[in-house]
Structure 1
Amino acid sequence: MTAHSMIRPFRPADREACAAILTRAGRRAFHWADWPDFDGPAFDAVTEDEHILVAEIDGRIAGFVAVYTAENFLHHLYVDPDVIGRGLGAALLDEALRRFGPALSLKCQTRNQPARAFYRKSGWLEDEEPGGADSLGAWLFIRSPPEAA
């Protein structure tokens, strides 16, 4: 994270910026798929009943994480492609664990090698067996590190 960045709870005024990040980052992550455009209502639909944190750089939304706390499930973690590599993803992941953990899990597409490497570097553990398949292809569960629990 940079000196002029922060993580805070989502506010309704953040929805369009988060929707744009979901569109751009999703297209990059799932380059093999037909990834949709997200607007505010579509963002609301895919994050319904989730607790959302946003990362800001110089007052601009640069990423978000959304957790469905009823199932300890990290559903979304996306960073604006223009600011990848500044530690925002790791900071969002750490803050999600701190606020909503200690034990969280997520689904990750098996083809999404950059995301899988990111979670491994963060100490998260992949299940040995695939979890299933959806419109983006095969996926597996990844779980927060045992020391977080």
Structure 2
Amino acid sequence: MNIRVANNLDYPALRLIYLESRRKSFHWADIEEMTLEDFDKDTVGEFIILAEENNRILGFASLYLPENFIHNLFVHPNFFGKGVGGALIHASIEKMNKPLRLKCVSKNEKAMKFYENKGWKKVVEEGETGERYWVMVFE
């Protein structure tokens, strides 16, 4: 598996991964409101890395470097549980300065367990009812 910086030619595949992964995993959200364009809106000004194998993009992370913040980490549903997320987390940690932060939707129990298994700690739960999330830190 190769981790590299994304370029504009990767965006069609990244948009699709973002859409398909959220539709598969975000059981609490209205999947009909999700669009391919969400990727562009949700990654403005971010540094994007991706994982690929055999010229196929498996997942990506978008990082807000000024705040050492992982904004998005998504893996194509066909590659869940195959080490893609772990490789992206590792590359993100290497790119930024500790402590790193991220927010994880409270209802996303699989993601929460994933991050905790990678050494992330819950700091505080924030947000409105129905949109709660945990701020997590990696030191």
* Residue 111 of structure 1 pairs with residue 107 of structure 2: yes
Q: Determine helix, strand or coil for the equivalent of 2:132.
A: strand
Residue number in structure 2 paired with 1:60: 56
Residue number in structure 2 paired with 1:137: 131
Cα deviation, residue 137, structure 1: 1.6
Q: 1: distance between equivalents of 2:67 and 2:74?
A: 20
Give the alignment's TM-score, normalised by structure 2: 0.92
Cα deviation, residue 46, structure 1: 1.2
Cα deviation, residue 68, structure 1: 0.6
Note the residue ranges of structure 2 that are not aligned, 5 or more in a row. none
Cα deviation, residue 109, structure 1: 0.8
Instruction: Within 5 Å, give how 1:121-132 maps onto structure 2.
Output: 121-127=117-123, 129-132=124-127
Give the alignment's TM-score, normalised by structure 1: 0.86
Q: Does the CA-based 8 Å contact 2:28-2:107 persist in structure 1?
A: no
- The amino acid that maps onto 1:74 is I
Q: Determine helix, strand or coil for the equivalent of 1:119.
A: helix
> Alpha carbon RMSD of aligned pairs, Å?
1.4
Q: Does the CA-based 8 Å contact 1:21-1:63 persist in structure 2?
A: yes
Q: 2: distance between equivalents of 1:98 and 1:119?
A: 16
Q: Does the CA-based 8 Å contact 1:97-1:103 persist in structure 2?
A: no
Render the CA deviation track for 1:78-137: whole Å, top value 9, x for unaligned.
Answer: 00010111101000000001012322111111110000000000000011x312238x62
- The amino acid that maps onto 2:126 is G
Render the CA deviation track for 1:34-83: whole Å, top value 9, x for unaligned.
Answer: 130214xx422211110000100211111000011122211000000101
Instruction: Within 5 Å, give how 1:1-149 maps onto structure 2.
Output: 5-35=1-31, 36-39=34-37, 42-127=38-123, 129-133=124-128, 137-144=131-138, 146=139
Note the residue ranges of structure 1 that are not aligned, 5 or more in a row. none
Q: Determine helix, strand or coil for the equivalent of 2:128.
A: strand
Runs of 4+ in 1 over 6 A off after TM superposition: none
